[in-house]
Each structure stands twice: as structure tokens, then as C-alpha cells.
Amino acid sequence: MTAEPEARRITGPHLLGDRTGAAFDVFLAVDQDERAATWEAEARRLLDAVGWSAETTVVRPFPGGAHLFVSAPLDGLYPATDLAELAWSAATSGGPTAAGAIDRLRERIERDRNPALLALEAEAARRGLTFLHDDDGASVGSGRGVRLWPNDEIPDPSTIDWSGIHDVPIGLVTGSNGKTSTVRFAAAMAREAGHTPGYTSTDGVSVGRELIVPTDFAGPMGARVVLRDPRVTIAILETARGGILRRGLAVRRADAALVTNIAADHLGDFGVGSVEQLLAAKLVVTRVVPREGAIIFNADDALLRGEGERRAGVTWFSRGGPVRGAARQVCLEGDSVVLHAGGRRVLAAIDDLRHATGATAPYEIENVLAASALALALGVPESAIAPALRRFEPAVDNPGRGTVLDIGGAHVLVDYGHNPHGIHALRGFLDTIPARRRLILLGQAGDRDDAAIAELAAAALELSPDRILLKELPTLRRGRGPGEVRAVLRKALLASGFAEDALEDVETEVEAAERALAWAEPGDLLVLLVHEERGRVLELLRAAEAER
């Protein structure tokens, strides 16, 4: 049990509601319901004491703990974290918050008050415009129609010329796997239609073809970078689970939200312990889509199929052919990508997909179908889909996501597969590549529990490897010590009967690529699952490809 959990600021729609405020997760072995109820009562008392009587509390239990949330105005988020933590201290100590602490809380609220900020937020909401706020300032509108003011220069809304302020089309992409590829395909389709797309992903933030932030930015911070760039005419935002749970969404309105799939990954983080709870977190993106917008689900995913069948107006994508009874869908029929929406229209051919993906890997076809549905929902014309796929260069436009190279007669696949679902998706594709021997580079971030890491090892064994390189991920240890994740992987692999002399530890992904190339002979297949050093690994591999 964490006696004094640290509350986090919630700046947009989130798992526990749509209001801004503060949240934290508590893990309790005993007295869970009693402690949570005591916290809620004390939080309510404190809200009333500081003049926030209109604000609310939320308690959402999960096995072994609870999510706790208290709402607050946008200019009161830091005091809200103090309030939430004071209430928890009272719940664990058995006594009410001291009068002196309440006085200090009132003083901080008064010090942080920003009427100009709240007035601008309210006016943006009244006009249906995107409103963003952070240390860089406050903005209304998005992309080409954005206006940004420093925090100490926020104007009275009545003095603003609103005529040029507007939003660009905004699409959100979430799910367990395939998000980055889907975003990149959709961005290519938007470019083909003459747009300057701004897009976020696990690999960074891009505008047009320019990578402007070369690091994982698939959360609200990355979204704000895109939405405040005046070059952007369409925004396609990868929206990761962590950002949704840690801070909430960046926007309160999007024209479309797409969920690629739901699979066991990151279970245990922020109290999300099952795929059903993970689904609930991912579905937050659908809450910001108005009735006239598009919610896009994968019909081939059982959880999403069940969720979508309970909703009206879902747009489906499916690799398995037409979805019976669906009014709008993008599906694979034979050798064609087909749109069904008031008729049947062919968008692209399988050869277009093969060019865009480098091969007809089932999971990449799925990503193209998803991207097509999203691009159309954002106003990209149907005529742009096929040309965009034909112009797409997988090694350049989607590096490290299913990238296949031939190096001295050995095939090398570089992919981001980082969970059992992602590795299972590779299996069918790898079976199409003849291989005398197979090598796999395997590693995992430290924020998974031992059981999840063991499941990754089991998934890797299903690819029938002859050799496995176990890598260290120094930037992704996330609370674990050096070598700890590798030790869990090694133990699971050996327990499953994998030969110890076929395991090798490597310290970096670049070292792993060098070792793999040294081991490889013509006819071998190297499966390099790369997460930290993708650019350097691809550079090394392409140099080797040119030499051999």
C-alpha cells in the first residue's frame, strides 16, 4: 500500500470523467472500500472549505485498489493535487485535515487564480474551438487557424478578432498495436490530397515530411505541438494509453477517433489490470467525437466488435471482408480495398498495399484499411488513397515498422513488436519468408510485471527461433535494475526448454544488430525487435546492405 500517493494533474477528458482536476491511484490490501469512502468524504469537506462546492469527486474501484479523482478549475490544478493528497492523508491517519493546512490551500488557490485564462477557456468552448493551455501559454483554434498568447498576455475575449480563428480536422488514433503505422499511412493520404499533416507517434512529432521532435511524443504534449503549428492543415494524433491515464486527452473535440485493437499490454499500470479495463481507457477517445464525427473500430478484434455492436453509427475496417449490416466500412475484398458507404467503391488494389507495406503482411494490411477509414473521415478524398499508397516508401515513410532488408543473402526484419499481440501478428508474415535459421532480438520495458515478461518470451518461442539475443533497454528500465528484465526473460525461455547456449546477452540494440549480422549466413532470417535505437540500427543495416 502506498501511504502517500502523489496526485497528478488531469488536463483533459480521462478515464474518470471529462473535467479537469487531480487524480491518483491507491493500492490497498485491506479496508479498500472504507479508506476510499473516507477519502471521498474528506475531499468533499475540503472542496466546500476552499469555495469549490461545485466541484466533484470520483472513486472508481479496481481489484486491489481504487482510482480517486477530484475536479477543479483549470487555474486550480496544482492546488487540486494538494487537496487530493491532504484528503488521503486524513483517510490514512484517521483525523481531519488541520485548519492551518486548509488555510495554506486557500492561499495557494488565490495565488494561482487566473480569471483571464478561465474567460478565454469559456469563450473557446462557447464557440466550439480547441482550447489548449500549458507553460507555453493559452491557445484557441488549431493548425492554420490557431492563435497563441503567453500566459501573462492572455487577452479579454471581447478584444479578440475571432474571424481567422478556426480548427483543422483532428483525428485520434489509439489501440495496443499498429498506431504509428496507421498514423503514417493516414498522413501520406492527407499529403496526397494537398494537406500539410501534423502527426504524433511513438517515433516523434512531424509536420509535412519534417520530423520536428525526434522522440516518443504520443501524448498530450505532442498533440499540443502539432495543434499549435500554423503550417498544419490536418492533425492525426497517436494517443497512447499512458497519456490518457496520466493527463487525459489534449482536446475536447475531434472529428474522428480510431481504435486499432485491444491486447494485453501495460496491465497493472495506473490500476488497469485487465483487457476490459484497458478497453475502457482507450475508449476515452470516443467521448470527444460529436454525433456528426466518426468512431472507427476494428471489426476483426473481438472486444471492439462487441463494443461497436452496442453503438450506432460505427465505421468499421476489416481484413476479413464486408461486415454484415454495417452502413460504413472499409474492408479487404479479394485483391481490393473497398469502401461501403451508400454504395460500393474500390479505393485501392492489393498491389498498392504491397507497395506501401513492402509486403502483404496481414497486420500491415489492417493498418492501411484503418488509415483509409480515418483519412476519409477527416475529409481526404477517395481519389487520394491509391496514389498515396503507390508513392509510399516503407523504408523512408515508415522506418522500423515491418522494414525488410536483404543483407548478403540473409533477410532482416526490423519491427517495433513490443508485446505478445504484436509478436503474434508477425508470425504469419514470417512464415512467408523462407529461413534456414531464425534469430530474434528480444527485450522488454521494465514497467511490465514478471508474468507479462514471461508471456513475451512464450510469444517469441512461437516464432521458432534458433537463437535469441536478450537486450538491455537502459532508457526503459522504469524502476527495474540493470539486467533484471533480461533475467526474467532468460528464466522463462529456459523453463520452456530453449537451449541455454542459444541465448546471448547484449547491452544495446546497435550491438545486437552487429552480433546478429556476424552470426547470419545466406538463407537466415534476423528478426530485430528494436525500440530505443531504431535510427542507428537502420543506418548500420543499410550500410551493411550496401557493402554485401
Enter the DSSP assignment of 308. Answer: H
Cα angle 287, 291, 296 (rounded to 5 degrees) comes to: 65
d(CA 375, CA 337): 14
Domain boundary, last residue among 100, 131, 164? 164
The reply to whether 377 and 497 lie within a common domain is: no
pLDDT tens by residue, 125-148: 999 999 999 999 999 999 999 999
Q: What CATH number should be reported for the domain holding residue 539? A: 3.90.190.20
- What pLDDT was estimated at residue 95? 84
d(CA 111, CA 120): 19
Strands in 210-213's sheet, in edge-to-edge order, are 210-213, 204-207, 197-201, 234-238, 170-174, 256-259, 294-298, 315-318, 328-333, 336-341, 344-349
- Is residue 456 in some structural domain? yes
Strands in 403-407's sheet, in edge-to-edge order, are 403-407, 410-415, 525-529, 438-442, 467-471, 503-506
The reply to whether 187 and 324 lie within a common domain is: yes
Quote the cell numbers at residue 346.
Answer: 474500390
d(CA 257, CA 243): 15
Residue 313 CA from chain centroid, whole number: 24
The reply to whether 189 and 308 lie within a common domain is: yes
15 pLDDT tier (thresholds 50, 70, 90): very high
- Is residue 142 in some structural domain? yes
Q: What is the mean pLDDT of residues 374-399?
A: 93
Pairing between strand 410-415 and 403-407? antiparallel
Residues 473 and 445 sit within 8 Å (Cβ to Cβ):
yes
30 pLDDT tier (thresholds 50, 70, 90): low
Residue with cell 479578440: 160
The reply to whether 198 and 284 lie within a common domain is: yes
Residue with cell 492551518: 100
Residues 291 and 365 sit within 8 Å (Cβ to Cβ):
no
- What pLDDT was estimated at residue 7? 94
- What pLDDT was estimated at residue 29? 64
Q: What is the mean pLDDT of residues 525-529?
A: 95
The reply to whether 41 and 151 lie within a common domain is: no
Provide, for the chain, the percentages of residues in helix, strand and coil under a 3-state DSSP scheme, each rounded to the nearest 5: 45, 20, 35
Q: What is the mean pLDDT of residues 223-228?
A: 98
Residue 173 CA from chain centroid, whole number: 7
Q: Please name the residues in contact with 287: beta carbons below 8 A apart, sequence gap of 6 or more.
A: 13, 18
The reply to whether 25 and 56 lie within a common domain is: yes
Q: What is the mean pLDDT of residues 490-509?
A: 95
Q: What CATH number should be reported for the domain holding residue 289? A: 3.40.1190.10
**Closest by CA position to 317, among listed 259, 394, 385:** 259
Lowest mean pLDDT among 326-330, 478-482, 542-546: 478-482
pLDDT tens by residue, 446-458: 878 888 899 999 9
The reply to whether 150 and 109 lie within a common domain is: no
- Is residue 319 in some structural domain? yes
Q: What is the mean pLDDT of residues 338-346?
A: 96
- Is residue 3 in some structural domain? no
pLDDT above 90 (res 531): no
What is the percent of the chain with per-residue pLDDT over 70, rounded to a whole number? 97
Cα angle 390, 258, 309 (rounded to 5 degrees) comes to: 120
Domain boundary, last residue among 379, 397, 415? 397
- What pLDDT was estimated at residue 426? 83
The reply to whether 206 and 323 lie within a common domain is: yes
The reply to whether 94 and 120 lie within a common domain is: no
- Is residue 523 in some structural domain? yes
Q: Please name the residues in contact with 513: beta carbons below 8 A apart, sequence gap of 6 or more.
A: 441, 528, 530, 537, 540, 541
- What pLDDT was estimated at residue 1? 37
- What pLDDT was estimated at residue 32? 66
Residue 56 — φ and ψ, nearest 5°?
-125, 165
Q: What is the mean pLDDT of residues 174-196?
A: 96
What is the average pLDDT value for the chain, to the nearest integer? 92
- What pLDDT was estimated at residue 457? 93
- Is residue 200 in some structural domain? yes
Domain count, the chain: 4
217 pLDDT tier (thresholds 50, 70, 90): confident
- Is residue 1 in some structural domain? no
pLDDT above 70 (res 3): no
The reply to whether 308 and 214 lie within a common domain is: yes
Q: What is the mean pLDDT of residues 271-288?
A: 90
- What pLDDT was estimated at residue 2? 43
Q: What is the mean pLDDT of residues 315-341?
A: 95
Residue with cell 547470419: 520
- 3-state secondary structure labels for all residues of 331-343: EEECCEEEEEECC
The reply to whether 245 and 332 lie within a common domain is: yes
- Is residue 418 in some structural domain? yes
- What pLDDT was estimated at residue 268? 61
**DSSP, residue by residue, 406-460:** EETTEEEEEE---SHHHHHHHHHHHTTS--SSEEEEE---TTS-HHHHHHHHHHH
Domain that holds residue 70: 8-113
The reply to whether 461 and 363 lie within a common domain is: no
Q: What is the largest CA-CA distance in the chain?
A: 76
Residues 509 and 441 sit within 8 Å (Cβ to Cβ):
yes
